[in-house]
Structure 1
Amino acid sequence: MIWRSAGEYRRGMHNPLLIASRVWCSTLAIMAMLSGCRSPEKPATASSTGIEEAFDEPELDADGDGFSVSEDCDDTDASVSPNGIEVCDGIDNDCDGVIDPDTAAGVRTWFIDADGDGYGNPAATFEACEPGESGVENALDCDDGDAATSPDGDEVCDGIDNDCDSLIDGEDDSVDPSSGALFYSDFDGDGYGDPEAPEFACERRAGLVDDATDCNDADPDIHPDAIEICDDLDNDCDGLTDDEDDNIDLSTVRAFYPDVDGDGYGVPTGAIQGCSLPTGYSAEATDCDDDNIAINPGATEVCDDLNVDEDCDGAIDDADPSVDPASGILFYVDGDGDGFGDRTDAGTVWCADPADGSVVDNTDCDDAAADINPDATEVCDLSDIDEDCDGTADDADTSVDPSGFSNWYTDSDSDGFGDRDVRPTAQCDAPSGAVLDRTDCDDGDSSINPDAIEICDDLDNDCDDLIDDDDDSLDATTATTWFEDGDSDGYGAAGTALELCAAPTGYVADDTDCDDEDADINPGEIEVCDDLDTDEDCSGTADDLDSGVDASTFTDWSPDTDSDGYGDATATLTAQCDAPTGSVDNAADCDDGEFDINPDATEACDSIDNDCDTLVDDDDPSLDPTTATEWAPDTDGDGFGDDASVVRACTSPSGYTDVLGDCDDGEFDINPDAQEVCDADDTDEDCDGLIDDADDSVDASTGSGSWYVDSDGDGYGDETASAELLCDTPTSGYVVDNTDCDDKDAEVNPGATEVCDLADNDCDPSTTADGTAYWVPDSGTPSDVTSTLGGSSAVSVTWSDDGALYLCAGVWSLNATVDGAILDVVGVGGSSAVTVNGRGGRLLDVENGADLSLNGFTLKNGYTSSTGAAVRVRGSSLVGDDLEITDHSAGDHGGALFVSNSAVELSNTIIDDNYSAGDGGGLYATGSSTVVLDTCTLEDNSASDGGAANINDASTLTMDNSTLTDNYASAYGGALRCQDGTSVSITSSDFSLNSSIDGGAVELFGSCTGTVESSTFSNNYASDDGGAIWAENTLDITGSTFTDNTASGQGGSVWSDDLLTVDTSSFTDGYSGDDGGAIRSKSTLTVSSSVFHSNQAADRGGAIDASEATTVSASTFTDNYADDAAAIDSNASLVINNSTFDSNSVGDKGGVLRLNYGASDSCEINGGSFTNNTARDGGVVYADFGSSSSILEVDSAVFTNNTAWSNGDTVRYKYGSSSNYTFTGTQSFTCQSSAGCY
């Protein structure tokens, strides 16, 4: 039997329809066995071969898809079988028991609808044939966790996009307005809404408010919280306007005055207050007679006998410029006092004679001349003046006085001169054709008169009875010019002219003779050659320049090209009078191209016939021997000749050379070009007179080697010296080594041991020896003191010898006394590397005239129950640099340093974290000591007085470029205190975050004086007075800055009880809990070129509170605040020059100044500007004058936009009168409120 596998049957290799049923069963059993399955019909029986021996009938494949009914899940559909392709159709196409899996052909992408609202999440997808319960085909849900949120949702005010259109709340036009809040339009932005403009909105946007109480939403000044004022408006929205409203702001009401006569003008008495004018009242209180309706400020002033002031302006009749002119009399000016008024004067109306010289007549025709008026006599005058004012003058006036007539003479020829032969006519003015003169000798010829010029014409032209040459006034231009002919050759000489009418003897009219002393020289002569280049024919040219020269007088000339005075023997000659340029009168030069070759030259060695004698060089006996060469014999052929056998010649003799200097002409290797070498015979090879080592040019390589100077004899040569190469070995002072870094000190060389002394002992690059200490006395032997000072407990040492202690990097322990010694203690490596620890005791006690210098280390952990835990200096001096003095504590004065009767100077030093139970946490100075601190830092120190430093008992402190910060005094002077005759000078230093009771940073107590320059004080605090500085004596502050200082008492920055001077400084954000936000001055104060900004006082003087005389110049005060006097509270005389006050404000009186004056005090304001200042009373000045002798004087100041909401935008007068106030110069005022300027 042939066995077939189940696979073979599936492939159609055997047709089960042709086999009997038993064979089919067998086949099926075998298939089940081979496929690892059991027959479900009956148990298999194993044979000896392990193969089931059962024989059953095979199953049918009804749909012909190759799978039997038992394999095929739908044997009626050939497309369904284990080999079928699963597609989305609700059928298990591949018979795997799964219908339409997500791998089926034709699956779609579905979106999860987690909240079941019918809209899918675009971010959550799955692939399937059908969506199932959780899927939808759209991706429109914007929140799939909330079924109320979907494209079908209703947009409401909740901060969510409910309808998924990407618009939220008010952004979405479809939002349900009922879900929002009700707001009202606030169009005018005053915070109150218009009840007529409601609007629902999700949230309040700009322009909407919750309130609906605004009665006028177009005016921000009208709302329920506004103050009712007189303006015919309901300002506070209570339905009442102006006088109807009991809440009216009384500062806006007006006074109305009784008007009995009904003329519209009232009187001051009986005034009432209100907004609107009531019947029987007037807004004016200017009526001077309320019983007469014709008398009031609106009436016209007229002249009357009773002198009534009809217009109530205080001026009557003529005293009133507005008087009605029709009611008066016209008076005219009588300028010349002749009793007649000026006819050109329009006249002035007066009620009464003004008694000023004016008259009622106006007939004077010239009111500037008293002798001209209608009563005057007409007289002759040149100006034709009408003296009697009758309209005619002089000859036209029949009343003219004839005594003034003149005699006039006929001038027939009109030349201005009258005929001397006729009778005159007498009258004022000249008759036609007449003149006053009678000097014309010919009145028929206008060219003849006394003013005419005499000319050559045989007439007396000028009427002086002289004619032509006889008249000295003759016009010479009309005469003939005659010239002297001195040599009588008929030709006159120019320059000898005479201007005459007739010719004098010896003169001719010709002036062409060029030599009037030689009769042979004149224009009629012939030109000839002559040495003087005489112009014989007076043609203006001579000799060769004259074309008419006689050629027979020429000379022959030869060119001299080389200008040696000899002409070219080969050139063509030129015939003329004078030598042509570059020519001579000989032809003897044999080479006219060479200046040095000619008959006068000297023969020289140059292969040329220099002297033109046809002989050259050595052939010419006249050869100049100095031009020959020195030749010497060169026997050894080395190119150098023997100086002893020199000859001179142009050409070298045989065996000679012109190079001299051979000192051995028998030895080829000896000559000036040879190299000097070291040799045992001491030969001078290079002939320079020097031998071997004596010759700097010797070849040292031929000698004994390189040698170096050893100046200190320690066996090591100077590293800075150059090597010396010598022929001979030196006997001393030289070595072959060059490693000595200090060849002046035998103790310093590479073989020495390095010690801590700031010197490089062993000549390696390092000068330190960490962990070592070294004592170097000025006299004696240095010693290593490492073991002495390096222990864990401090050693007690007394230095009475002068010297230096060097401490290298490490920690050293010391309790030392410096007794009268001059001592330097040096930290090698600086204060960050070297520490000296007091181990609970005082580190240094300096006394008995000692002079101590400390440099480059930290001093710490000192303690004493008395004074100066770090250093105590008494009767001595101390200088320190690069130090840190820290963590010291003293039971008495001077937590770190105590200085008495001594001088201390510290630079680049830090004094920090020290404490004194007495005074001066960091430093205490007394007994006329001097202390200088330069570039020092004093920080976190504390004491009773002077947290960082206390200067006492006639001592002085000079501080420059230093910092004092975070220091604390439980009593006075948070950083610094001085007292008892001391003085303090502070320059370019910074004080910050210091605190105490008085003088948060500095206190100048008693007789201590101080100067502060270019320094900064910030964030200092005093629980009483003087946030930064408290001064009881004189204090000068220059170029300094005060910022954010605070005093709970007076003087936010400075409190002063004596003379205080402030220049070019600034005070900003100072605060006083009492008076003087920046400065509280109780004595004389001078401020110049300074700035006060944003200072504040709880009571008076936001910037300055001054008790005594104060002067402020060229300074600026801005944004200061106080209850009274935002800028300056003045209690004595005050002078302000050219200063600026802007935007200062108070809660009560004096937006800038409060003047609280008694007797004889004054305030002078000279120039400057006052702008935008604000107060209740006195927007700029509140003047509280208790005496008539107190005054306010203002000259040329500018007041702009200042405001007082009660009285006086500029000045509020209190307890004074207008006589106390003077305004002069050019003022400028701008008043802002109804309070008025004054």
Structure 2
Amino acid sequence: MTARPLFTAFVFAVAAAGCGGDSVEGKADLGGVGTTVTTTTADLDGDGDGYPASEDCDDTDASVSPEGVEVCDGIDNDCDGEIDPPSALDAQTFFTDADGDGFGDAASPFDACEPGPEGAENDLDCNDGDALISPDALEVCDEVDNDCDGLVDDADDSLDRTTGGVYYADEDGDGYGDPDNEAFFCEAAMGFVEDNTDCNDDFDTAYPGTNEICDDLDNDCDGLIDDEDDEVDLSTQRSFYPDLDGDGFGVPDDAIEGCSLPSGYSTEATDCNDEDSAINPDATEVCDELDVDEDCDLLSDDDDPSVDATTATAYYADADTDSFGDRSDPGTLYCDDPGDGSVTNADDCDDGASSVNPDATEVCDEGDVDEDCSGTADDADAGVDPSTRTDWYTDGDSDGFGDRSGTATSLCNQPSGTVADNTDCDDGAVAVNPDADEVCDDLDNDCDDLVDDDDDSLDATTATAWYADGDSDGYGHLSDSVTACDAPGDYVADNTDCNDGNASVNPGETEVCDDADTDEDCSGSADDSDAGVDSSTFTDWYPDSDTDTYGDATASATAQCDAPSGSVDNALDCDDSESAINPDATEICDSVDNDCDTDIDDDDASLDTTTTTAWAPDSDTDGYGDDDGVVELCAAPSGYTSTLGDCDDSDGDINPDAQEVCDAADTDEDCDGLVDDADDSVDLSTTAGLFYPDSDGDGYGDDGATAELYCDSPGSEYVTDNTDCDDDDEKVNPGEVEVCNEVDDDCDASTSSAGMAYWMPDSGAAVDYTSTLAVGTSGSPAVVSWGTDGTLNLCQGTWYVDATVAGATLTINGIDGSGAVVLDGDFSNRMLDIESGSNVTLSGLTFSSGSTSGDGGAVRVEDAELQGSDLVFDSNASDGYGGGLFALASTVDLADCVFEDNESEAGGGLLMEDSSDLTVERCRFTDNVSEFGGGLNIYDGSTMTLSDGTFSGNEAGSYGGGIRCFAGTSISVSDTSFTGEFAGEDGGAVELVSCGSTFTNVTVTSSTAGDSGGAFWTSSDITLDNVSVDGAVAEAGGAVYLSYGAGDVAEVSGGDYSNNEADYGGVFYTYLTSSSAYLLVDTTTFSGNVANVTASGVRYFDGSSYAAYTLASPTSFTCRGFSGCY
């Protein structure tokens, strides 16, 4: 039977009660509605579930019947004889727990209402056959996963280590463990051993039983190092030689054997003079009067081929023994005079003549000899002896006589066109000179200052006979004559005048008509009576019928001297019957020849133009005439019009009625005086062009500008191109070359330029520098030197370079940042050497794998300035100072930089020397290693200001794990953290020797010193303002060690010193040897500090007495030399 919900079964039972059968009275309240039901049954159904008692296994419970649903309730709900079977509606899944440990086996699930004694609600047992193995068990060393977490023994962090053995770290792998570094393991872990007798677990050459050797280590762990140990292996010792002059080279006498170099000794025995530090094998041989062998090679001065040539003197041959050497001799360098007659100058221009040398005087000579060796001779030499010159005069007419009026030219050599004479009175006439004859020619021919008739030496055969000409008509009278070169006043050569009182009467005159009837030609008759009268003087006489004073032009003339009656002397009247027509009349437009000039109207040039009309040529027949061709005429010429205004009469499309359009020739089509863009009426819909602004003048228009219509370019600031992606920069356009500068130079929508390098000079265009640097490869860097100012832009890539900046102002930019631009030394070379006078700015660069046997594994700076940002110095090394960076007498400013995994003798990350100045902001120093100053070293008068820095994992073999400052320097450090720094001897984080310092807002965590000062070791004034030190460890002075003399003061203000540890002085060890040496502590907190031997707070020592102090928190106190702490 299908089971139904309990509610349905109940309703069914009530309904059945109303069907037939025996009657039993009764009432049932169904839902409180007051309904009365009468039921009748033959077999009692006590619970009303529809099943009589004979079929119902519990007729008192309506939820129990053959159709009931089995649930976990301890009842047989479905009357099948089973109570709470596995198939119960709310049965659960349980897991077999065979070992009874409360944890079931996931491989043995079962369904039930209750788990029973051999079941569990979970499946977490990993071994159900062993009650000792379960998630509640404790993991122990037995090679079994006891706690069922999938991890066995040492692999399980919850292991009970007490069930394993004690092992000791063997970090150097020498088989001997560090007693201070123990751990419990089931089985010895990698790097751990059972032995705990290693005294130095950093070096595999130090452990009990081995031989003590010279290496600055206690090899045999007997507490003695090198020369301190009588059992040191003598074969590892070296010989040291006395070096009295301190030049680094000793002499072989009195050598001693040892491990460490004693003061006053050297490892070299090659000094040839140990009393002079300037004399040793490294010295340079120089010329000197004493012939000293400076470089100890047994040769001196001229005998030593390595002598410094700059100290030698050049000698030159002097063949003529005039004390001046041959100029052509290249010279020979000697320290001493070679004794062969040579001299120390090369000034002689002719070493074969002793009279020729720089001391001689230049004189005029025919050979043009350069006596004084000035490079010029005679006139070319300003120093020539003037007394040997000659005065020369111009001879312009080449007659052998010079111009006496000219100025003499004093020279050695005769100039062209001159002579030594100056007696020519006319140097422009070859026939005039002192040797010529005086003749009649108005010249002083013989230069005696007398001319023609004034000169008694005149040649009379050249004179003339002259006659008196009283009327000055050029004709003389025969009765009066003289002989001379020139005619005396009023005398002429003619003698034929008939009237010497009238200048117009003489034989040379022509008889002419005149009113006085004069005989002008001296013929004896006059006018019409003289047959020789000049007919050209006759007058033509014409009849004048209309008496208008103009004769008839058609009549014949009568020619004579005097006028016939009724005649006039002209024939100009073209109409002698009309007095208004004559030559004096005005020509007008009337088709008549008014002025008798045979021209009518327009043909007459004298036409009265007030009677004419203006006509203009219309060559292009467009109805408009050319104003420039206007004529005033009576009648219109062919092709002319009276309508004016055509500005181009050769083109019918150009006239005042035409439309102005754009054209290449800038034509004024509508003749309004305005062309193309200047004319507001221009039709721009025709041939106008699109123009775009070109603000930067590079020939490319703004790609974001709106085009403007013009006929012609509106100016140089507009172009027809619109492809310029940056119109404010003339170096950005499609015609440019893409350079390494994060700018889309060529407007191709890309700034990608990986592997490119560009040199940007201070003026001029960029230069592709890629090929210059790309030649550098691993092991073979590109060797470059920059001596001029500029900027080098490097794009993404690795560049193998060996570069020098030689006195230039230079910027090197890694355009894509330090993560993408790498300068790589391939462990074979330094990448950058910045020489004296340079000023360099670096940004966005990584310096990696640089190496040098000198100073500065990656970068070396000397007497220069360096600014840097976004720089990484990674894995660089130097045998000298400054694994990453070395600066000597320089100024260095760094920001946002990283020094990581660099190594050197001093200053693992960087070192500043010789009064250098360093500023560092937001820089990180990580895992750098050196003997002195693992992170950085400030040395020899240098200063440093450092802020927002991070130091972690840096290591110094001896002093200053993070920072070492030494010798007359000062530093300031603020807002900086030190974590995990280590120093083999003093100053786990910082060591300060002769170095005043201030530390503000600084934290030091887990730093370690092998000897003193787990965080700080100082022998100089120090201020610790709000400095916190946590977990620092040392033998003496867990946090701070002070080694103070007179006047030294340490001031500690605020901050927290916690969990620091030392054998002596858990926080401070104060070694104060003067009453003016102080430690001043103000309002500082202390907690959890430990002293393994004595003084968890302060260990006081003044050289003779000790004291130990614990510290309350917070507290203020003072420690003073010879006074203790109070």
Q: TM-score, normalised by structure 1?
A: 0.35
Q: TM-score, normalised by structure 2?
A: 0.38
